[in-house]
Chain A
Amino acid sequence: EVQLVESGGGLVQPGGSLRLSCAASGFTFSSYWMSWVRQAPGKGLEWVANIKEDGSEKYYVDSVKGRLTISRDNAKNSLSLQMNSLRAEDAAVYYCVGIRFGETINHWYFDLWGRGTLVTVSS
């Protein structure tokens, strides 16, 4: 059974740091691009970051560049998101997501989703 299990969420003060983790199982983790997608309470979905299978390419939404860092450990089937200088607008449920490609490498979508972990930023 494919599973993505996030952990590490919690309450943090503005300006603080948090590290999210995602444990993957049931599929060949090292063959998947991975993402973090977030959703603020009562709001829509927002893409945060992507990382290539081998970690050699990373992409971020502008609002998190320089503050959030995506990384992976294929030996441990693990995805991480290091979150520094947190702001109130970073408060959200963070989903760990596996990407699947369609008929061509240019077509892809978010296929495998964890249940999410909640990050609250408040003093």
Chain B
Amino acid sequence: DIQMTQSPSSLSASVGDRVTITCRASQSTSGNLNWYQQKPGKAPNVLIYSASTLHGGVPSRFSGSGSGTDFTLTISDLQPEDFATYYCQQSYTFPITFGQGTRLEIK
């Protein structure tokens, strides 16, 4: 199984900040790496797929990069609605696996 490890597990930031969340896979995912945002009591929503492609309707302050085993999600100019939990997920091979999540909180 491919293990997905996110860092940090939690993060405090202020509106207007730029933050980066890292996701490391235990083996290559060949770019099959997706990022999701989840707010309390809601279903997740996809932000980025295929490591760097912005999903339709997602603000351009979200960006993804990386290849092989190391990936990053960057949020520039944090907005109040961005405070949520973020998950990476590999769709390269079964079983499909998620990172443990990164909780982004308001400082």
Contacts and interface: CB of A to CB of B under 8 A. Distances in A.
Please classify the interface of chain B as helix (H, G, I), strand (E, B), loop, or mixed, using the class held by over half of its residues: loop
A61 B55 CA distance: 26
A27 interface: no
A115 interface: yes
A102 B50 contact: yes
Interface string B40-51: 001111100110
A25 B64 CA distance: 31
A107 B32 CA distance: 6
Contacts of A116: 43
Contact of A109 (B30, B42, B91, B100): B91
Given A109-B49, A110-B36, A47 B97 contact: yes
Interface of B: 30-32, 34, 36, 38, 42-46, 49-50, 53, 55, 87, 89, 91, 94-101
Contacts of B97: 47
A62 B1 CA distance: 10
Contacts of B34: 109-110
Given A45-B38, A108-B91, A113-B44, 19 more contacts: A44-B99, A45-B36, A45-B87, A47-B96, A47-B98, A59-B94, A59-B95, A102-B49, A102-B53, A103-B50, A106-B30, A107-B31, A107-B50, A108-B49, A110-B36, A110-B46, A110-B89, A111-B55, A116-B43
B5 to A, nearest CB: 12
A21 interface: no
Contacts of B55: 109, 111
Nearest to B32: A107
Interface string A8-50: 0000000000000000000000000000000000001111001
Nearest to A59: B94
A46 B89 CA distance: 10
A44 B96 CA distance: 14
